[in-house]
Amino acid sequence: MERVGIVDLGSGTARLVVYAYEPGSHYRLVDEMREPVRLGQGLAASGRLAPEAVVRALSFLSAVQDYARATGLEQLDIFATSAVRSAANARELLEPARRMGLEVRVLEGEEEARYGVLAVTAGFDFEDAWVMDLGGGSAQLSLMRERGFAHGNAHPLGAVRLAERFFKHDPPKPREVQALVAEVENRLSGVIRGLREQPLPLVAMGGTVRNLARAVQRARRYPLERLHGYALSTRDLDKLSQRLLTRRASERKRIPGISPDRADVIAAGALVYRTLMRTGGLSEIWISGLGVREGAFFRHFLPPPHRPACVRELHLANLAARFPQSRAHIQSVRDLAARLFTALARHFGMKPGDARLLDAAARLHDIGLVVDFYDHHKHGAYLVLQHTLAGWSHREQALLALLVRYHRKGRPRPGALESLLEPGDAELLLRLAAILRLAEHLERARSGRVKSLDVTIRDGEVILEVSGPENPWVEVWEAQKDAALFEKAFGSRLLVRGR
């Protein structure tokens, strides 16, 4: 696999993320380095990078260079954003970096906004959306149309910049809060008008909004450790913003979900989002775990136009590739599950979306074998829950993990994930688990012996007749053990016969 290191010299935080990838196929994050370099420190007042900030950034780049040499990482894509773009003395950082042998690209505002849109095209199924990336020095606002960049640019509304400019007290005075809000409304008047005229989803990215969403999740005891794809409501953000604005920075550090190195600026960032959501008439914003760095990575990973044909498939394939299973067995289970679903769907009122979920579970049901055979259904469910399946809703990810969990044995129950599900999902889980378990047992010898599968539904009975070149005796024997679960799921007696 190829490897590339993406280095983002942000106005607040600098990061190196390292990806291993098969071009156009699958990828995974393999390492990360992070440092709060605060390049935007004092920039709003002086227009220059502070000497100590330059030293911090160059020290970080030295660490990155040493890491690359030690690990044999040959590809480094290094870029800087708002702070370096607007600083009068940017050369004081760029030239020493060049002498070190590191070329730092300075992204223009529109180019940075384009990277944000690329991240959204790889992380969400939306065809059209507003995209916002709030950093330390600036906020990029873009419009995505037909999964492409329509227009967008940067605005000087970063959390560090605004906190330094408007907040002179800790916590800020009401007049300071009002002045910041007025600045946001003035700077983003055109965007606010666009949000009202074109009411599309707003996808937000960057460390500020992820901290805000994480704090809300912790307060609500959200059952899924996943930020990407989370819908942060205006109501929840209002409540958190008020909490942040009435506490000192030292107290904000202790709020679960808030990074200590953001505690002094997080309230300013929260106000930007709160103002935009209120004035733009938004009830929620969607949180992206992918950002500018990932947008830059997709320019290496995918050919032009650098976006996947199917978001859901890309991330499902990533997970399957990371924990390889027997291809022949998985394909047999997928085929059998699809045939069972097709035969049962019309009679029992199941939908095409349910078939997609069942097929994904069939593809992933054995990933836990990479840990151990024993309890591999539990290991597999854990792996599903610990990986971002972009394009899949949190509800779907919960159902997928539960299907993997119950593909072998046990009575399917939502358990701790129940709050993520919708009415009727407990019955859907039961039905899809029954089908998946049947498909798994009809492939019990892991040799594809069941070639023919006929389903007859009559008088409260579902009759499965299976056959192959040789008598699939063990498959029939194992499948008959699923009769109790099947009857509970479908209210019909299950009979399995070989022929």
Check residue 155 and give its pLDDT. 93
Lowest mean pLDDT among 35-44, 143-152, 224-233, 277-286: 35-44
Give the tokens for residue 96.
């020493």
Q: Tell me the pLDDT tens digit for each residue of 103-118.
A: 999 999 899 999 999 9
Give the tokens for residue 460.
């409260």
Average pLDDT for residues 240-245, to the nearest whole number?
Answer: 97
Is the pLDDT assigned to residue 429 strictly greater than 90? yes
For residue 410, give the DSSP letter: S
Check residue 45 and give its pLDDT. 87
Average pLDDT for residues 465-469, to the nearest whole number?
Answer: 90
Average pLDDT for residues 154-181, to the nearest whole number?
Answer: 95
Give the tokens for residue 212.
């805000």
Q: Tell me the pLDDT tens digit for each residue of 40-60.
A: 888 888 999 999 999 999 999
Confidence of residue 206 (pLDDT cuts 50, 70, 90): very high
Q: Tell me the pLDDT tens digit for each residue of 249-267.
A: 999 999 999 999 999 999 9
Check residue 227 and give its pLDDT. 97
Is the pLDDT assigned to residue 499 strictly greater than 80? no
Contact partners, residue 346, CB within 8 Å, separation at least 6: none
Residue of 17, 44, 45, 47 lying closest to 31 (CA atoms)? 17
Is the pLDDT assigned to residue 351 strictly greater than 90? yes
pLDDT > 90 fraction of the chain, expressed in percent and rounded: 93
The answer to whether the CB of 85 falls within 8 A of the CB of 31 is no
Beta pairing, strands 2-9 & 76-80: parallel
Give the tokens for residue 489.
């799921």
Confidence of residue 204 (pLDDT cuts 50, 70, 90): very high
Confidence of residue 285 (pLDDT cuts 50, 70, 90): very high
Q: Tell me the pLDDT tens digit for each residue of 375-416.
A: 999 999 999 999 989 999 999 999 999 999 999 999 999 999
User: What mean pLDDT value characterizes the chain?
Assistant: 95
For residue 485, give the DSSP letter: H
Check residue 100 and give its pLDDT. 97
Check residue 469 and give its pLDDT. 85
Instruction: Say whether the peptide bond before residue 171 is cis (omega within 30 degrees of 0).
Output: yes
Lowest mean pLDDT among 153-157, 280-284, 426-430: 153-157
pLDDT > 70 fraction of the chain, expressed in percent and rounded: 100
Check residue 225 and give its pLDDT. 86
Q: Tell me the pLDDT tens digit for each residue of 11-21.
A: 889 999 999 99
The answer to whether the CB of 348 falls within 8 A of the CB of 431 is yes
Check residue 19 and give its pLDDT. 97
Is the pLDDT assigned to residue 96 strictly greater than 80? yes
Is the pLDDT assigned to residue 471 strictly greater than 90? no
Q: Tell me the pLDDT tens digit for each residue of 112-143.
A: 999 999 999 999 999 999 999 999 889 999 99
Residue of 279, 137, 312, 117 lying closest to 207 (CA atoms)? 137
CB atoms within 10 A of CB 23: 12
